Structure 1
Amino acid sequence: MQKKAVILANGAFPTHEIPLKELKNSKHIVCCDGAINNLEEAKIEPYAIVGDLDSLDPDLKWKYRDIIYHFSNQDNNDLTKAVNWCLENNFNEVVIVGATGKRDDHMIGNIFLLPLYAKKIRVRMLTSYGIFTPILRSKNFESYTRQQVSIFSPNSNTSITTANLRYALTSQKLDMMWQGTLNESMGDSFRIEFEGGPLIIYQEY
């Protein structure tokens, strides 16, 4: 049985209708610490608040005291704590929103944590511009003609072959992170095949 949570990180609150719809339609919104301040302004109810509570407004800490889960461990960031909480509470899918914007270093860190999460749970990250999907094995993607697509390969030894992208890769390794960016879909789907991995695929809305 599919049990999905939407994790709201404490980055820039989403503005695009797709991540906003995920928030408004979800019964299981897990807030990373101070993200509850933005959720409160949007008049959306949280399901749980997870983190070290260092950026939580005292009034909201009292208001939501029954659904707060405090983890003081500094070895993991609040986003990882929220994903781990979802795993411990039998969720098998998470959609992450609000994980970009504000601090660029946090944004990059959050994006490149996705393959770690993907080993444990089905995960996607929605921004105000597009979707990041981590993959551990070859995969077909739904798309549309001229959709902008980027491939990020944390492991430079990964051999990648693509189908139905404008700039084809054939058993190619990406030595630098930028080399798989700014590609384009040629139709209503494309395929990424690879040996090694993981990969992170970005698709604009």
Structure 2
Amino acid sequence: MSSHHIVREKQEPALLIANGESCDPELLGQLLEWSPFVAVLDNAIWRVLDLGFKVDAWLGDFDDNPDFELVRAQQYPLEIVHTPDQNKTDLDKGIEFLIERGFPAVNIVWATGRRADHTITNMTNIIRYKEQIKIVMLDDYSKITPLNGSFKKWYAKGTPISLIPVGQVDGLQTEGLKYNLHDESLTLGYRTGSSNEAAEDGFVRIRYAKGDLLLMECWD
């Protein structure tokens, strides 16, 4: 258990730490407080050791032969999981590990920033797991969630909301946005639903017929 609070295993989101740009320590601390299980990916472990917080599992292909005993000494007890599949990203492996363990939800940090190829791959690959686990990817400026056909949530007026298709999304309809969509299509690279916002205090509703869609709440 990695939280200072009493949280029940698999009733709160797990926390998955990738190896992109670090987020604000306050955000990380808030997530750690309520995470029953924390997993870290490959070389991010060294940054975690520097920060001094406890994790439960360390996943990686470990091609650089890290000092396992050094890590174990600072993180005991620690589950070390070898994930050598080169056809999957580290983030894919981490999400699939949590799905196999039965977690219903995961918060992901340190998955954006730094390398642009890693960032766009991480943000778009999460759609493949939308039916298996609830995913929220966070950094200092955004909160990204893959939708699964329909969505409803209460927002304060003016909350920034962007709808970004991964490929093409058809039959998209929204309610409660400043610029609503009415049975329309979005296509990455041609037309997206960026920089929209909640029109009033109240529920925003989104549904679509086909495709993969990311909901992004972004701020400056």
Query: What's the TM-score once normalised by structure 2's chain length?
Result: 0.84
Partner residue in 1 for 2:6: none
Residue 161 of structure 1, CA deviation: 1.0
Match of 1:194 among 208, 212, 215: 208
Partner residue in 1 for 2:4: none
Distance 1:39 1:16 in 2: 12
Q: How does 1:32-43 map to 2 (within 5 A)?
A: 32-43=41-52
Q: Which amino acid aligns with 2:16?
A: I
Q: 1:56 to 1:46 in 2, by over 3 A?
A: farther
The alignment of Structure 1 onto Structure 2 pairs a total of residues equal to 205
Q: Does 1:138 align with 2:147?
A: no
Distance 2:65 2:153 in 1: 38
Q: Which amino acid aligns with 2:158?
A: R
- 8 Å Cα contact 1:161/1:192 also seen in 2: yes
Whichever structure has more helix as a proportion of its residues is 1
Distance 1:105 1:61 in 2: 29
Q: How does 1:65-84 map to 2 (within 5 A)?
A: 66-84=78-96
Partner residue in 2 for 1:181: 194
SS at match of 2:145: strand
Residue 3 of structure 1, CA deviation: 5.2
SS at match of 1:108: helix
Which piece of structure 1 moves more, 45-54 or 60-69? 60-69
Q: Which amino acid aligns with 2:79?
A: I
Q: Does 1:49 align with 2:58?
A: yes
Q: 1:91 to 1:176 in 2, by over 3 A?
A: closer
Give the alignment's Cα RMSD to 1 decimal.
2.2
- 8 Å Cα contact 2:17/2:44 also seen in 1: yes
Q: Which runs of 5+ in 2 are unaligned?
A: 1-9
- 8 Å Cα contact 1:36/1:46 also seen in 2: no
Partner residue in 1 for 2:5: none
Distance 1:201 1:75 in 2: 27
Match of 1:9 among 5, 8, 18: 18
Partner residue in 2 for 1:149: 161
Distance 2:129 2:90 in 1: 13
Q: 1:44 to 1:176 in 2, by over 3 A?
A: same
